[in-house]
Structure 1
Amino acid sequence: MADRPLVPADQRLNELTLKALILGALLSAVLSAANAYIGLLVGLTVSASIPAAATSMGILRLFRRSTILENNMVQTSASAGESLAAGIIFTLPALVMMGAWSGYHWSTMTLIGILGGVLGVAFTIPLRRALIVETDLAFPEGVATAQVLKTGGIQTDKDHPEYRPNEEARRGLRLLLTAAGLGGLIKLLESGVGVLAGGIAASKSWLGGKWLFTGDITLSPALLGVGYIVGLNVAVLVFLGGAIGTLIGVPLNWLLNGDELRQLAGVSGDMSSWNAQDWENLAGTSWQQCRRIGVGAMMVGGVWSLITLARPLMDGVKASLHAHRQAKAGLVALRTEQDMPIPYVSLLVLLSSIPLYFIFLHAMDGFPNRFWIAGVMSGLMLVLGFVFASVAGYMAGLVGSSNNPISGVTIATVIVSALILLQLMGNEGAAGRLGPIAVMYLAGMICSAAAIAGDNMQDLKCGHILGATPWRQQIFQIIGVIAAAGAIPLVLSVLDQGYGIGRVSPYNPGATPLSAPQASLMRDLSTGIFGAGIEWTYIFIGFGLAVLLIVLDEIQKSRGAHFRFPVLAVAVGVYLPLGLSIPILLGGLLAYWQQKRRGNTETEGDGLLLASGLITGEALMGVLVAILAVSAPGKVPYLSDFSLAPWLGLAGLAICFLYLARKG
């Protein structure tokens, strides 16, 4: 990837404009609402950077004047809204599920979202140089978003006498739209119509029931594109993690802990009487335990990442301070390296600490030592928030925002903070009731901060490629956070009334509730630690796996090998369902094959643009289908049980693979 930005530092184009501000805020609210529904339904959200960029490009082209940097600012703001949605829906519904809240409180949720999101932005500012300039991370969605924006040209001025449409941009946009149309069509046929399956899963018992197999594949063109962009090394490691957690962990867990799994899965009677659903329940229960190995690996990998990033992180902070001193001395840094000044960042964090303290004080209402505990919680937010924002930013650079396991980071937050509070408060009386509530307040803020940090590092990578001014981009990130924070509570309140979130709706008992898997897990962890405790066995296994991977990676580093073993990539694979890693692996293999055919080691040319298009199309259509599903409950997808859907879904993924192989 070239170091020189598309727009040179000495060239100034419109960036911070009124139309960009309004459009960015609107898209942030809309995309956050759509992604909230998707996340509550299936436990996954999609990165909105690429669909926001495509939408922004389409709308801004209607104006007589626009620039690529305006488009970049809009997608920055919009994608911040999608990220904040993940931070909130993975945590705060747990407060309603555990009975701490009677409903979704707009003012409290908005304040939690704004505080977590703004701090997430603040924490990314000293990380920008460390992770984007000083390290060679992929940031797949950031690179893909830059490719999308480049197709629209650098500047449009329809009043200029020499204005001519950019033919190369038109060609690139045509390629992008073709690939996006293919990805969007498959997503529509899958989620909207139901003639294609979104995935295929199977659970089988072998060797007379002694060996339990479970496996799946997600039939997603977007994941194929992500694998193409991240490359073979990361794709292989994510798949390796999935194999460890699913293909190895599940059957071994069944072999060693069969009686416990039967009780947890609610399967009784003689093995000969079990049906396919019973085996599927057993496999699912076994996998839920094994995925905690990924949590343990993430905890160790996160600490190791901070250790290895300490030097570039300090260099980044020093560079920011140096830029501030130069500015005071009248020596202005390059426009493309001007972050928000560190004193302003410090002031932003300091000002955020005031409402931070009072919101924790509110959460601990009724506890005798609440003033002291609120101070401890505020300190934990600032320390753990920065730590996990750093980890999330690194993981986004490694595997992309769409596959960034923010919920894994939040699990670590819940475990660490709950254990600390348990020692400080105990679990008797009011402490047993208020402790989990305080933990979930903290988890909501840290999850929001980590989600914003990861996705915004992608946006800053995009801006680095294009030649954006970082401090202006950071302002747009905050605008997106504020817009989304006000919209998400309203959306959750409507969804809870219509469907129920993790529980039967008190207003519509006949509806099928949205599962909210992450929030359910956070509730169980927080209440479990303050009650019956938590099983650490699998987390400790994850610790061991992480240490092994770190040793292997250091050996490869000393040998100067291209293939490395970054622990977080494997931890991601363990934590996520195996099916997500398979199309990523296919995309990585395809990119490697094309690189070898070209005789170089870089993913470039039309292939990258087409991979970006597949991501764009599926993401945009996913948002559209989510909106339709909210407006017409129970009618989307149109066909719920089409017998040929799995085979047609496989055919759809094969078509995308062949299309990318031939045209890329």
Structure 2
Amino acid sequence: MAHGSPPISEDRVPVAQTLATVAHTPYVPPDKSPAEMTMRALVLGSVLGIVFAASSVYLAIKVGLTVSASIPVAVLSIAIFRALGNSSILENTIVQTTGSAGESLAFGVAAALPALLLLGYDISLTHAFLTAALGGVLGVLMMIPLRQGLIVQEHGRLPYPEGTASADVLIVGEQGGTNARTVITGFIVGGVYKLAYSGMKLFREVLSTPLQGLKSATVSTEVSPELLGVGYIIGPRVAAITFAGGVLSYLILIPAISFFGSGLETPLLMHNGQLIRDMSPDQIRNAYVLYIGAGAVATGGLISLIRSLPTIVGAFKRSLETLKASRGQGAMPQLLRTEQDLPITVVLGGSALLVLAIWLAPPLEVNLISAILIVIFGFFFVTVSARITGEIGSSSNPISGMVVATLLITCLVYLLMGWTSSEDRFMALTTAAIVGIAASNGGTTAQDLKTAFLVGGTPRRQQLALFVGVLTSAMFIGLVLVTLNRGATVTIPEPHPGVKVTEFSNETRVQHTFSWAVSADALAARGLDEAALRKAVWAQGYELNTQSGAMELRSWRDVSSQDLGAVTLNVSSGAPIKVADLGAVTDGPKRTYKEGYVRGADTPVPAGKYLLDESDTIQYVVDPGIGGRISVYEGQQLTRYAAPKAQLFSLIIDGILTQKLPWDLVLLGVFIALMLELCGVSSLPFAVGVYLPISSSAPLFVGGMVRYFVDRIRGGESDFSPGTLLSSGFIAGGSIAGVLIAFLEIATDGAGTRALNLPALLGNQGGLGGFLNMVGESEHAHPLWSNLWGLLFFAGLTLFLLRSALKGQSAAMSPPPQKEA
């Protein structure tokens, strides 16, 4: 059994940890042919792959990490098939293989593609699908000829820890042991808990308080089941290092910038000319600390890659040697079932078709040179990734470092070629994304091939299952990413007279306006002012504009004046009141706005999407949910996803191609990372903590502390012990609930999520409604009591995790049964 924390993870936190390799003789001998690649196995594997891919996308845009899906998928497959009757171990292997393929795509898609939003583009479903599918297929194709050398000939030298652990789970399940109930319990609890605060607003999602005596210092935490689960899995050391990075940002850097900058009379690095003394802590973070964090993250990723260089060079050399040797012996036919790979013609033909598809697919906008770079980097990093995961596991595989290296070299080539336009940035990001997906998928595919090798699976069937898993998950990963972004995207008034957009789209937006005859006496009678009224109107999805001197209601939805007049406003000074009770609502003119994008190096406003009136003047910003720069508007906390890796990639592209970057701040981050390395502390998780909001790293720390106590009491945790499996359920359940809430927001144009909002529905006048408005997610929430109420729920969830992790005996607590000779 593995003890202590798992290895420090760059991108994917491990569920499986190193166990002893099972005997070389496969569990199912080659002369036996039980049911294997059945239709139900492919369907179940695809469904589970989509579920865990969706949760991985959610985590990747939130904290820049994903979670290995191999163990939970294997456990759930055993339980589901047992409920349906029976299954063979090889059928469960196909499910596990198909399911894990989807998760391997999620990181590359969710880490890289959101950078398009930061560069002033939209995320296209077609572009996301092609990027995921082509990168995934590239990874699988290149692993086919490597299997004989890396998995078979290197058996006993390359342990492939996650693949070996997955094989152990499947063998234990074949003998009757399973912990699927724990995963399902975590899934249900995590989903219901997420719905309670994110949908029904029964308690606040982010608990925050200023730190008295230290200007601009804040302490905050999310009450998130998925981040609690991630913290438990990565363990106390990595969780504590990540949280320490958040402490540096929010309790040292932000207060220091506020202290030293409060006397400045000129703005620094800000598009809107805002002075430091007028900034909130979050605004200081977005304007300055993010650049410091980006420098630290990039340095940590490159250090990880440099540390791996001896392994990378040796891995590539040995892989080519074993590939050549295995192909030199390939004249004799492979007759045994367990030795049948897809033919080399599939690899060569598929690779040629991939090059053409990458080059010719219009949504990718990749030229021939970039297509060649993708093939070169893809071949190199897939080979390296497969070898590294075999030696030290997927958790220490520096995928981000590989993507950063690809991006740096690609951008330098572009700079030498004079390709510095916004379209070239789009192409550079697509190039790096496909390479990153291929490398990530290559490492996961190698683990899956090891699992099949140990249990006695048929390689060619498993390779076909990998293609199925890649393509089915690719169809949904982009949809999940777009859904999460659109569900949290907000159109906010932000006039920029005289600013020209870089490019217009073919889309327009129609705004419905209404005159609202509200008198000053009507407001005074209810103790209201214009600011309070504006907040109440915005909370219902409408805009109040008074620029012309009269009150005008605006809506992006097609509503009638009667429907708008019946809308109930929750105001702080009294009972809820209908819009029409304050004044008559009459139809006004419809206005049409054009969509435009600001991109490029010398932009007077941040890159992004804007809405322009008939005179081509910017009136609104369409602030995305992923990487959006506005977190609070009219007193409402907006859902935002930090997407730390995407922020880093966009900074690299802009920094090299525009040659304009605040290098002073970036270099501060570089030297912070170097200082940590000199102190013997891994800089990457610390740098990620600097980059993330402290509210995201705090629940990681809580989960890590729970793991610490469990390790002390139980003597260590294994890959499918109760705490790890329950945490996996928390992650999947909470993430899927978040995706469904975002989908409901889009499908109902906000009406569905407003119908779930209990504090708004019940009002703020005494009874249950008054209580929920005081302690829930509401603009009327009491700062102290709402924090304590949210902490109570989070403490209950944490104690449930601790109790479950300590209770009972896991199937993994004893070695898996060995096959009889």
> What TM-score range do you get, normalising by the shorter chain?
0.7 to 0.9
**CA 1:495 to 1:501, structure 2 compared with 1: closer, same or farther past 3 Å?**
farther
The alignment status of 1:613 with 2:726, answered yes or no, reads: yes
- What SS does the corresponding residue of 1:4 show, helix, strand or coil? coil
The alignment status of 1:534 with 2:538, answered yes or no, reads: no
- Asked whether the 8 Å contact 1:145–1:612 carries over to 2, the reply is no
Opposite residue 217 of structure 2, the aligned amino acid is F
- Asked whether the 8 Å contact 2:27–2:456 carries over to 1, the reply is yes
- Asked whether the 8 Å contact 1:242–1:574 carries over to 2, the reply is yes
* 1:450-483 Cα distance to aligned partner (Å, 9 max, x none): 4434655665676577665555444322222222
TM-score, with structure 1 as normaliser: 0.73
Show the counterpart of 1:306.
Answer: 309
* Cα distance in 1, alignment partners of residues 655 and 72 from structure 2: 39
**CA 1:661 to 1:327, structure 2 compared with 1: closer, same or farther past 3 Å?**
same
Alpha-carbon shift at residue 202 of structure 1 (Å): 4.8
1:491-502 → structure 2 map (5 Å cutoff): none
319-328 vs 474-483, which deviates more? 319-328
Show the counterpart of 1:116.
Answer: 135
- What SS does the corresponding residue of 2:217 show, helix, strand or coil? strand
- The partner residue of 2:415 within 394, 410, 422 is 422
Show the counterpart of 2:504.
Answer: none
* Cα distance in 2, alignment partners of residues 37 and 378 from structure 1: 29
* Cα distance in 2, alignment partners of residues 502 and 303 from structure 1: 43
* 1:311-330 Cα distance to aligned partner (Å, 9 max, x none): 34544454455444555445
The alignment status of 1:73 with 2:75, answered yes or no, reads: no
- Answer with 1 or 2: which has the greater Rg: 2
* Cα distance in 2, alignment partners of residues 205 and 287 from structure 1: 21
The alignment status of 1:603 with 2:603, answered yes or no, reads: no
The alignment status of 1:213 with 2:217, answered yes or no, reads: yes
Show the counterpart of 2:21.
Answer: 3
Identity %: 29
Show the counterpart of 2:299.
Answer: 296
**CA 1:200 to 1:492, structure 2 compared with 1: closer, same or farther past 3 Å?**
closer
Show the counterpart of 2:434.
Answer: 445
* Cα distance in 2, alignment partners of residues 579 and 396 from structure 1: 35
Show the counterpart of 1:264.
Answer: 270
Show the counterpart of 2:287.
Answer: 285
Alpha-carbon shift at residue 303 of structure 1 (Å): 3.0
- Asked whether the 8 Å contact 1:228–1:588 carries over to 2, the reply is yes
* 1:605-643 Cα distance to aligned partner (Å, 9 max, x none): 97x233212212441353145224413543446454373
Alpha-carbon shift at residue 332 of structure 1 (Å): 7.5
**CA 1:541 to 1:319, structure 2 compared with 1: closer, same or farther past 3 Å?**
farther
Show the counterpart of 1:556.
Answer: none
- Asked whether the 8 Å contact 1:213–1:283 carries over to 2, the reply is no
Alpha-carbon shift at residue 3 of structure 1 (Å): 0.7
* Cα distance in 2, alignment partners of residues 124 and 71 from structure 1: 21
27-36 vs 441-450, which deviates more? 27-36
**Hey, which of these two has a bigger chunk of helix by percent?**
1
1:246-395 → structure 2 map (5 Å cutoff): 250-251=254-255, 264=270, 268=274, 271=277, 274=278, 278-292=280-294, 293-326=296-329, 328-329=331-332, 335=338, 345=347, 348-359=350-361, 363=365, 374-386=367-379
* Cα distance in 1, alignment partners of residues 102 and 698 from structure 2: 28
Alpha-carbon shift at residue 420 of structure 1 (Å): 2.2
- What SS does the corresponding residue of 1:66 show, helix, strand or coil? coil
* 1:69-107 Cα distance to aligned partner (Å, 9 max, x none): 323422432343344344335444655775667x8363x
- Asked whether the 8 Å contact 1:40–1:515 carries over to 2, the reply is no
Show the counterpart of 2:537.
Answer: none
Show the counterpart of 1:561.
Answer: none
- What SS does the corresponding residue of 1:303 show, helix, strand or coil? helix
* 1:527-582 Cα distance to aligned partner (Å, 9 max, x none): 554336233445545555666666676xxxxxxxxxxx556555555555555555
1:227-238 → structure 2 map (5 Å cutoff): 227-238=231-242
* Cα distance in 1, alignment partners of residues 454 and 267 from structure 2: 50
* Cα distance in 2, alignment partners of residues 442 and 8 from structure 1: 41
Alpha-carbon shift at residue 197 of structure 1 (Å): 4.4
* Cα distance in 2, alignment partners of residues 527 and 605 from structure 1: 41
- What SS does the corresponding residue of 1:2 show, helix, strand or coil? coil
Opposite residue 626 of structure 2, the aligned amino acid is A
RMSD: 4.9
**Hey, which of these two has a bigger chunk of strand by percent?**
2
* Cα distance in 1, alignment partners of residues 487 and 191 from structure 2: 27
Which structure has the higher relative contact order (CA within 8 Å, separation 6+)? 1
Show the counterpart of 1:18.
Answer: 39
- What SS does the corresponding residue of 2:87 show, helix, strand or coil? strand
Opposite residue 377 of structure 2, the aligned amino acid is L
Show the counterpart of 1:516.
Answer: 626
Number of aligned residue pairs? 610
- The partner residue of 2:124 within 91, 104, 110 is 104
Show the counterpart of 1:160.
Answer: none
* 1:194-224 Cα distance to aligned partner (Å, 9 max, x none): 33544444555755x4xx5355444444445
- What SS does the corresponding residue of 1:356 show, helix, strand or coil? helix
238-247 vs 301-310, which deviates more? 238-247
- Asked whether the 8 Å contact 1:425–1:435 carries over to 2, the reply is no
Opposite residue 657 of structure 2, the aligned amino acid is F
The alignment status of 1:659 with 2:659, answered yes or no, reads: no
Alpha-carbon shift at residue 4 of structure 1 (Å): 0.3
**CA 1:138 to 1:224, structure 2 compared with 1: closer, same or farther past 3 Å?**
farther
The alignment status of 1:485 with 2:492, answered yes or no, reads: no
Opposite residue 282 of structure 1, the aligned amino acid is I
Alpha-carbon shift at residue 437 of structure 1 (Å): 2.8
Alpha-carbon shift at residue 14 of structure 1 (Å): 3.3
**CA 1:95 to 1:320, structure 2 compared with 1: closer, same or farther past 3 Å?**
same
125-134 vs 647-656, which deviates more? 125-134
- Asked whether the 8 Å contact 2:244–2:689 carries over to 1, the reply is yes
**CA 1:605 to 1:68, structure 2 compared with 1: closer, same or farther past 3 Å?**
same
* Cα distance in 2, alignment partners of residues 132 and 261 from structure 1: 61
- Asked whether the 8 Å contact 1:326–1:332 carries over to 2, the reply is no
* 1:29-65 Cα distance to aligned partner (Å, 9 max, x none): 5665676677668877665556644654454335444
* Cα distance in 1, alignment partners of residues 455 and 289 from structure 2: 42
- What SS does the corresponding residue of 1:515 show, helix, strand or coil? coil
- What SS does the corresponding residue of 1:61 show, helix, strand or coil? helix
* Cα distance in 2, alignment partners of residues 144 and 525 from structure 1: 37
**CA 1:268 to 1:237, structure 2 compared with 1: closer, same or farther past 3 Å?**
closer
Opposite residue 365 of structure 2, the aligned amino acid is A
Alpha-carbon shift at residue 495 of structure 1 (Å): 7.2
1:453-492 → structure 2 map (5 Å cutoff): 453=442, 456=445, 459=448, 468=457, 472-488=461-477
* Cα distance in 2, alignment partners of residues 501 and 390 from structure 1: 42
Opposite residue 294 of structure 1, the aligned amino acid is V
- Asked whether the 8 Å contact 2:258–2:276 carries over to 1, the reply is no
TM-score, with structure 2 as normaliser: 0.61
* Cα distance in 2, alignment partners of residues 441 and 399 from structure 1: 27
- Asked whether the 8 Å contact 1:40–1:514 carries over to 2, the reply is no
Alpha-carbon shift at residue 298 of structure 1 (Å): 0.4
- Asked whether the 8 Å contact 2:197–2:205 carries over to 1, the reply is yes
**CA 1:94 to 1:611, structure 2 compared with 1: closer, same or farther past 3 Å?**
closer
Note the residue ranges of structure 1 that are not aligned, 5 or more in a row.
156-165, 365-373, 554-564
